[in-house]
Amino acid sequence: MRFHQLLSKATGLITRPAPTNSLTSAWRTQAARVPASVGSALRISAARRAFATSPLVERSLVQRPAPAWQGQAVVDGDIRALSLADYQGKYTVLVFYPANFTFVCPSELIAFSDRSAEFTALNTQVIGVSVDSEYSHLAWTQMPRNKGGLGDMKIPLLSDITKQISRDYGVLVEEAGVALRGLVIIDPAGHVRIHHVNDMPIGRSVDETLRLIEALQFHEQHGEVCPANWKKGAATIVPTPKGSQSYFSSNNK
């Protein structure tokens, strides 16, 4: 039995019900305090700091089945239907971002796209997601990178025009009508394993995303757990009182 399964059995995290209405309600309670404009949404506020202690935190999506989704996406320069079910048996990384034709967003999407081969080697598909239409996505990919566009993309760009996907994954700022920079890693069994959210001014790290996937896969394959700052090839921990002593004695002299 894997470490997260042992922990879940002890705490009941996976089996405890999480009503969708409560999740949405908790988010809307906090989002109601956020100014309507995207510009204002960039400002750090007391309401956002309060979010860290809101009931929503207790209902994290981590370890739970990923909310199903389907929609139109730009894939290899064409528009076609896409769904989470298409990636069953793979790791899936959802990269939520606020809006097309902006500033930090193209830097992130280009960075993930340019390293898509590394994700493919890890049986992983990265998908960019925003509330823009698929036609807006397509237009952005046809704009050159030196003008703020994306150019050719090696990852799909999913349209969340109804905002429901962003809402279901807890990253939508309701009053601003855009998503925060959420990064969600879903395992091949369809469970959320990582759920990180950045505020809008801060871009995400491709290196860190790859590290997290490698750590998840190492744990699944070997049953050992990955300590702070772990990288592929580094020491891991046997998650038992006796087994862990080898790591602690070697790394805490």
* Structural domains of the chain sorted by starting position, each given as residue range(s) with its CATH number in brackets: 61-216 (3.40.30.10), 223-253 (no CATH)
Closest alpha carbon to 112 in 171, 161, 156: 156
pLDDT tens by residue, 29-39: 434 433 344 44
pTM of the entire predicted model: 0.79
Give the SS3 label for residue 131.
coil
CA distances from 247 to 223, 228, 236 (A): 15, 12, 7
17 has a pLDDT exceeding 80: no
Give the SS3 label for residue 140.
helix
pLDDT more than 90, % of the chain: 76
56 has a pLDDT exceeding 50: no
- What average pLDDT score do residues 21-42 get? 41
Top pLDDT among 183 and 13 is at 183
Active site (catalytic) residues: 105
- What average pLDDT score do residues 227-231 get? 97
- What average pLDDT score do residues 215-229 get? 98
DSSP H stretches of helix in the chain: 3-11, 20-31, 38-41, 46-51, 104-114, 116-121, 134-141, 164-168, 206-222, 245-251
9 has a pLDDT exceeding 70: no
82 has a pLDDT exceeding 70: yes
Comparing 6-15, 51-60, 79-88, the range with the smallest average pLDDT is: 6-15
Q: What is the pLDDT of residue 253?
A: 80
How far, in Å, CA of 127 to CA of 140, rounded?
15
pLDDT tens by residue, 137-190: 999 999 999 999 999 999 999 999 999 999 999 999 999 999 999 999 999 999
Q: What is the pLDDT of residue 58?
A: 52
Quickly tell me which residue has 């079910």 as its tokens.
85
Mean pLDDT of the chain: 85
Distance from the Cα of residue 2 to its chain's centroid:
22
Residue 222 binned pLDDT confidence (cut-offs 50, 70, 90):
very high
252 has a pLDDT exceeding 60: yes
Top pLDDT among 183 and 3 is at 183
Q: What is the pLDDT of residue 54?
A: 44
Top pLDDT among 212 and 30 is at 212
25 has a pLDDT exceeding 90: no
Say which DSSP state 64 is in: S
70 has a pLDDT exceeding 80: yes
Closest alpha carbon to 230 in 245, 208, 250: 208
